[in-house]
Structure 1
Amino acid sequence: MTDAGGTLRERLASDEILACPGVHDPLTAAVADSVGFDAIYMTGYGTSLSKIGYPDAGFITMPEMIENAANIQERIDVPLIADADNGYGNATNVVRTVREYIKAGIGAIHIEDQTFPKRCGHTKGRQVIPREEAVGKIEAAAAVRDERAPEFVLIARTDARGTGDGSLEEAIDRANDFLDAGADVAFVEGPTDEDELERVGREVDGPIVYNFVGDMGSSPYVELSSLEEWGFDLVVFPIASTLSTIANVHEDLSTFADDPVAAMRDIDDGFNDQPVGSLHEFSGFPEVVEWERQFLPDAEQDKYEGSLGDEVDSE
């Protein structure tokens, strides 16, 4: 991707709602990209769990998140939307955070108004910073975008609805303030029912995103057609690949206790039934072979003659 932000902006400008599956690493991103989506979302929860083994409770750091985002964007052919948590500090920290995400070459980030340490937007115990401070952080992020990469998409999220005394009215007011401060898209986390979703769509004055978390959260299942009707422009399914990975790996590995060989055969058969080709094809070995042909001395090709192993040639 050379202009992920511009590509994403063009897609968001269309009349059709944009649905993005959540991925947690380059591998799950590559699978999603092979299926075919207009954009892909990097989950903060899944990144934390897969990269450092801890839940989404403020343990993962900015460099770890940005490294993951950069590696994912390098692996896929569509724009990446990435979680940037609460910007990893105050407004001055946000300046560096946005600069680093822009350098990673991705299409968009979202920054939330939680305190530090933050936590998953669908767990109890969240708190938000004062609105004035939160607006300043979005202003800082927008200033970096305007200076460094005007096409970069800035999504501003509020978790005010999920705090102990949080109201939907406060969340909507914050979302509108964030848009006034320069955000491109508003993100009201945690509407509890369809009536609240309709109100968000009606009262937030700008593009909006819905965080479709399923049974692990407090937001309702709702059809995309309804979200589109209510005015939502973007829907992310943040934990999709992470839940799928946990469930399927647990199921497959559980059978090893009885018969590892038979279990491995079942895994092989299941993989071979997928349309992604062999593991080596999917991972990109044919491209590596082509690089060797282009850039290494001819004598380097001799290593393939008579050698053992799976075929990785692109021809």
Structure 2
Amino acid sequence: MTDSGAALREHLDGDGLLVCPGVHDPLTAAVADAVGFDTIYMTGYGTSLSKIGYPDAGFITMPEMIDNAANIQERISVPLIADADNGYGNATNVIRTVREYIKAGVGGIHIEDQTFPKRCGHTKGRQVIPREEAVGKIAAAADTRDERGEEFVLIARTDARGTGDGSVDEAIGRVNDFLDAGADVAFVEGPTDEDELRRIGREVDGRLVYNFVGDLGSSPYVDLPALDDWGFDIVLFPIAATLSTIANVYADFSAFAADPVAAMRRIDDEFNEQPFESLHEFSGFPDVVEWEEQYLPDEEQEKYDGSLGDDVA
């Protein structure tokens, strides 16, 4: 049992939609945690782009994803839902994938039914494995959850709607089979309009995720009360922090190119408008000082006497 999994299940048992902003590293996760959300989501696309510099096209590996998830979960105070791509292999590989994510301490993961190499669920060219094979992978994941961390939340995703001949009927049939195989939550990737969302809400026999990708993908902008009314339980905003990071850093560095000193002054001013005492406060330096006082010899505190720099206590 993981504390994060238990907390995530408690949130799922509550009323209303569970809104999860997407983050790609511990820094963006710390910002989301400071703002205050019940659950945070680790994007696979953003993780691949920020950690290895490649798009979400099957380049990032399981250890790299789990390392990022573990570091994010360690930094935040709420449960993390992490992207686990297609489980990084067949059903036997999925067993290790789930074990490793449970060891990482996250609240839950989603696993999809794409072939390898997989790609972003809102790009052309996706393919899915046969339904029977996909059900076996979810069954393996569910059995591993039950053996290693029964509170861990397993979300089963299908990309069948986005394949060349995919239909919403096939997608609904797949996720219902995934729920029967032991998944806790169903995730139909890429519904194309509100009518499909209503159908999914009516015909999927279990909890539901909506992936709110905005202009990046094929799924529509939808008001959150409507999603709630249609029977959805979790809404992910997977690429929010990644798009924000790219757009804001590009704008700031463009200003740097024109006048670095003026740009730095403006960035300082904007940061100081945030509810943080300083970057050092936000990053956790006061905890370091407290640990030193608690565990190091008294003479170690002398290094602060007469030294220059910000007071990080």
- What TM-score bracket applies, with the shorter chain setting the length? over 0.9
Residue equivalent to 1:208? 208
Q: Deviations over 1:135-168 (max 9, x none)?
A: 0000000000000000000000000000000000
Q: SS of the counterpart of 1:118?
A: coil
Q: Deviations over 1:184-236 (max 9, x none)?
A: 00000000000000000000000000000000000000011000000000000
d(CA) in 2 for partners of 1:271, 1:258: 20
Residue equivalent to 2:15? 15
Q: SS of the counterpart of 2:154?
A: strand
Residue equivalent to 1:141? 141
Letter in 2 for 1:54: Y
Residue equivalent to 1:104? 104
- Indicate yes or no: 2:178 matched with 1:178: yes
- Indicate yes or no: 2:182 matched with 1:151: no
Q: Please show how residues 59-208 of structure 1 align to structure 2 within 5 Å.
A: 59-208=59-208
Q: SS of the counterpart of 2:19?
A: strand
**Is the contact between residue 34 and residue 276 of structure 1 (CA under 8 Å) also seen in structure 2?**
no
What's the offset of the Cα at 1:269?
A: 0.6
Q: Deviations over 1:99-119 (max 9, x none)?
A: 000000000000000000000
Residue equivalent to 2:51? 51
**Is the contact between residue 2 and residue 102 of structure 2 (CA under 8 Å) also seen in structure 1?**
no
d(CA) in 2 for partners of 1:123, 1:135: 24
Residue equivalent to 1:312? 312
Residue equivalent to 1:283? 283
Q: Please show how residues 239-254 of structure 1 align to structure 2 within 5 Å.
A: 239-254=239-254
d(CA) in 1 for partners of 2:194, 2:25: 32
> TM-score with structure 1 length normalisation?
0.99
What's the offset of the Cα at 1:243?
A: 0.3
Letter in 1 for 2:265: R
d(CA) in 2 for partners of 1:71, 1:54: 20
d(CA) in 2 for partners of 1:134, 1:82: 19
**Is the contact between residue 110 and residue 156 of structure 2 (CA under 8 Å) also seen in structure 1?**
yes
What's the offset of the Cα at 1:257?
A: 1.3
**Is the contact between residue 12 and residue 233 of structure 2 (CA under 8 Å) also seen in structure 1?**
yes
- Indicate yes or no: 2:43 matched with 1:39: no
**Is the contact between residue 2 and residue 149 of structure 2 (CA under 8 Å) also seen in structure 1?**
no
Letter in 1 for 2:139: E
**Is the contact between residue 2 and residue 107 of structure 2 (CA under 8 Å) also seen in structure 1?**
no
State the percentage of identical aligned residues: 82
**Is the contact between residue 29 and residue 72 of structure 1 (CA under 8 Å) also seen in structure 2?**
yes
Q: SS of the counterpart of 1:288?
A: helix
d(CA) in 1 for partners of 2:258, 2:73: 40
What's the offset of the Cα at 1:2?
A: 5.5
- Indicate yes or no: 2:231 matched with 1:231: yes
d(CA) in 1 for partners of 2:276, 2:137: 42
What's the offset of the Cα at 1:277?
A: 2.3
Moved more, 254-263 or 23-32: 254-263
> TM-score with structure 2 length normalisation?
0.99
**Is the contact between residue 80 and residue 107 of structure 2 (CA under 8 Å) also seen in structure 1?**
yes
Alpha carbons of structure 1 residues 139 and 2: separation in structure 2 relative to 1, 3 Å: closer
Gaps of 5+ in 2: none
d(CA) in 1 for partners of 2:310, 2:197: 52
What's the offset of the Cα at 1:16?
A: 1.2
d(CA) in 2 for partners of 1:38, 1:290: 27
d(CA) in 1 for partners of 2:14, 2:78: 16
Letter in 2 for 1:154: L
Gaps of 5+ in 1: none
**Is the contact between residue 2 and residue 151 of structure 2 (CA under 8 Å) also seen in structure 1?**
no
Alpha carbons of structure 1 residues 299 and 72: separation in structure 2 relative to 1, 3 Å: same
Aligned length: 313
Letter in 1 for 2:120: C
**Is the contact between residue 23 and residue 41 of structure 1 (CA under 8 Å) also seen in structure 2?**
yes
What's the offset of the Cα at 1:256?
A: 1.1
d(CA) in 1 for partners of 2:10, 2:258: 52
Q: SS of the counterpart of 2:218?
A: coil
d(CA) in 2 for partners of 1:225, 1:126: 31
